Amino acid sequence: MNKKELKQKSSSVNIHDALFNPGSIVVIGASNNDLKPGGRVIKNIKSHGFEGKLWAVNPKTRNILDLPTFSSIEDLPGAPDLAIIAIPAKFVLQCLKDLARKKVRVVIILTSGFGEKDDQGKILEREMLAIAEAADITLIGPNCSGFMTPAYKGKFAGIIPELPGNTVDFISGSGATVDYVMEQAS
Q: Which residues lie below 8 Å from residue 66, measured CB to CB, with a gap of 6+?
A: none
Instruction: Report in angstroms the alpha-carbon separations of 158 from 37, 98, 100, 101, 161.
Output: 12, 30, 30, 33, 10
Q: Which of 141, 152, 153, 149 is nearest to 110 (CA)?
A: 141
pLDDT of residue 165: 66
Could you give the domains of the chain?
3-185 (3.40.50.720)
Percent of the chain clearing pLDDT 70 (strictly above): 79
Percent of the chain clearing pLDDT 90 (strictly above): 60
Torsion angle, CA of 13/93/61/72, rounded to 10 degrees? 70
Q: What is the mean pLDDT of residues 117-133?
A: 92
Question: Which of helix, strand or coil describes residue 83?
Answer: strand
| Sign of the C-alpha dihedral computed for residues 179, 17, 131 and 60 taken in this order | positive
Q: What is the mean pLDDT of residues 53-64?
A: 96
3-state SS string for 50-76: CCCEEEEECCCCCCECCECEECCHHHC
pLDDT in tens, 16-30: 899 989 999 999 999
Instruction: Report in angstroms the alpha-carbon separations of 19 from 66, 104, 147.
Output: 24, 12, 8
Instruction: Report in angstroms the alpha-carbon separations of 157 from 30, 35, 115.
Output: 15, 10, 20
